[in-house]
Chains A and B, each alone.
Chain A
């Protein structure tokens, strides 16, 4: 059973007449890792700041456990934030930075010492308590910022693009650590990022946002495999968008990029005839010989470019009608099946049902 911890109801917000959030409805469940994902300027950080209490809302209501908190100041909400810039106090050492929240709550000194030690151990900075903030590396400062927030045992931990300042390897490591920390502590995490890979690998649910609106709320798998619309499909991962015109509704017969194909998994819901068929690059199979094709639906194309990526080989292929598509094949050192040459003719197909069909 999922119980709702925080509920955003019909929230709108504008800056200088520019509407940045339009009628946002969102439920955050207790104990989940929820990610707000979208391009910069989509309003994701504004939502985080509204929840944190740093922005006032123009209209709408915020409920925490069914109690309205829209008007509460940040220090009365019981949430804590890991800021994008970390915002650590430069005049305090690591220990006092982490202890700040506990001292505000007037917790006895011995207890504070114990809790801060635990928090430092949790972020693997046990020996760093007496260091000043400027003596730490970016990754260590990041950990202090996380420790400073979670030591207060917030009901929701708000993370604002918290990993984006770290280099690639460190970011990967922190993603895993954050996820483990969240499981261990059972705290609800609300994470804001523009990095789709980060969102996919960490979240229980992803809220995809664009232009002040929510485009889709689903699990990472759902968002990736069944995007609700073209924006979501395009924003999350690489995808091929194929033009499709419905020819015969009963037979599910389409004209896709100039080839007639039957899409067996098509379910007609409206009278629309213009569609976009989405196929992920890794769902395409490429063959050099027509007899190896294991589907009725296939394209012919010419190989334009081969990109070696270690785990995969990415192929850029021009279809006969001029459309460029991307296909991605897993690399196998022992196989010669992936030995392609630029300019050769290829047949590409996909497993029936792996496509997504969206109305235009």
Chain B
């Protein structure tokens, strides 16, 4: 259905487009241009064309940063999915009264800056922190567990920060999911596992894909979490970019990392949309 946009519609579209151009596209173009310039000793950037920074980034040393970053993000995303899936299902099953309460509880953390919440995690997780004090106090452990400044702490921090972004799209999918289809599948002889694989997962797949995109992509750039919770080796791409700009003052190199990260994200989004299309086309092949 095509409807003619009124003046309000046109204004909104114009507003949003200008916003995106001004604060999205333009800064990215600047970064893109900077990635082809040269690092200066006096000034930040010398306006001479060079692909030197692009060659530099394919050094195994820097590729490692990307790999570690992808690993941390992938584990965090998977954990988010595993935790959020049953929770979102439960959320769609309970009565309306509790749904809104639980949704509010899910969203409340957004009201505080994620930086502040990450500092709170430091207080909880550190060796002489709240968690160890409680565990020792109750008598579960004798020695404090050293989680802080490890991969585990970074993953805990990412999962904690990004979990709502997995829950909300999954909940939206489960909310639309017709529970009577489960009965229909059981009626036709499916066991619980088959119902999950053949009926529930295919039908909430849009929510799963949206959740993965909303968690995995931002987690690649969340430098403050690995800054505060991670050890020396836990650099995510976000840290790397931040360090190039603020510590080493190598703006072209930082720009290259940014550009590559952006293109990787675009690539992932493209793969998702491709997978979605194939999924829609080849329904007959589902079995």
Contacts and interface: CB of A to CB of B under 8 A. Distances in A.
- Do A and B pair up? The answer is yes
Interface of A: 52-54, 73-75, 79-81, 83, 85, 87-93, 95-96, 99-101, 103-105, 130, 132, 148-149, 152
Interface stretch (B33-41, B62-70, B184-192, B253-261): B184-192
A91 B191 CA distance: 19
Given A100-B188, A148-B188, A152-B189, A74 B183 contact: yes
Most A CB contacts (10 A, CB to CB) among B183, B188, B190, B194 go to: B188
Given A90-B203, A95-B284, A96-B286, A105 B189 contact: yes
Contacts of A88: 184
B275 interface: no
28 contacts: A53-B186, A54-B186, A73-B186, A74-B186, A74-B187, A75-B190, A75-B191, A80-B187, A81-B184, A81-B187, A85-B178, A87-B178, A89-B184, A89-B199, A90-B178, A93-B283, A96-B286, A99-B287, A100-B185, A100-B188, A103-B287, A104-B188, A104-B189, A104-B190, A104-B194, A105-B189, A130-B284, A149-B188
Interface residues of B, number: 21
A132 B188 CA distance: 19
Contacts of B187: 52, 54, 74-75, 79-81, 149
Most A CB contacts (10 A, CB to CB) among B184, B191, B203 go to: B184
B186 A101 contact: no
B181 A89 contact: yes
Nearest to B194: A104
Nearest to A85: B180
Interface string B101-116: 0000000000000000
A96 B183 contact: no
B283 A132 contact: yes
A358 B203 CA distance: 56
A52 B187 CA distance: 7
B52 to A, nearest CB: 51
**Interface of chain B: mostly helix, strand, loop or mixed:** helix
B182 to A, nearest CB: 9
Given A90-B203, A101-B189, A83 B184 contact: yes
B202 interface: yes
Contacts of A83: 180, 183-184
Contacts of A152: 188-189
A87 B181 CA distance: 5
Interface in B11-33: none
A90 B199 CA distance: 9
Nearest to A96: B284
A81 B187 CA distance: 7
Interface in B137-192: 178, 180-181, 183-191
Contacts of A89: 181, 184-185, 199
Nearest to A109: B287
Contacts of A73: 186
Given A85-B178, A96-B287, 4 more contacts: A90-B203, A91-B202, A132-B283, A149-B188
Most B CB contacts (10 A, CB to CB) among A53, A79, A91 go to: A91
Contacts of A52: 187
A148 B188 CA distance: 8
A157 to B, nearest CB: 11
Contacts of A93: 283-284
Most A CB contacts (10 A, CB to CB) among B180, B187, B202 go to: B187
A75 B178 CA distance: 19
A53 B283 CA distance: 29
A77 to B, nearest CB: 9
A153 to B, nearest CB: 12
Nearest to A52: B187
A89 B200 CA distance: 10
A130 B281 CA distance: 12
A101 B191 CA distance: 11
B174 to A, nearest CB: 15
A91 B183 CA distance: 16
B230 to A, nearest CB: 41
Contacts of B194: 104
A117 to B, nearest CB: 15
Contacts of A79: 187
A75 B180 contact: no
B88 to A, nearest CB: 19
A188 to B, nearest CB: 16
Nearest to A95: B284
A54 B183 contact: yes
B286 A91 contact: yes
Given A75-B189, A75-B191, A104-B194, A92 B286 contact: yes
Most B CB contacts (10 A, CB to CB) among A53, A74, A148 go to: A74
A87 B184 CA distance: 6
A75 B186 contact: yes
Contacts of B202: 91
Contacts of A85: 178, 180
Most B CB contacts (10 A, CB to CB) among A53, A89, A148 go to: A89
Contacts of B178: 85, 87, 90
Contacts of B186: 53-54, 73-75
Contacts of A130: 284
B203 A87 contact: no
B190 A87 contact: no
A91 B188 contact: no
A339 B64 CA distance: 99
Contacts of A74: 183, 186-187
Given A104-B188, A152-B188, A87 B180 contact: yes
A203 B190 CA distance: 31
Contacts of A105: 189
Contacts of A95: 284
Contacts of B188: 75, 80, 100-101, 104, 148-149, 152
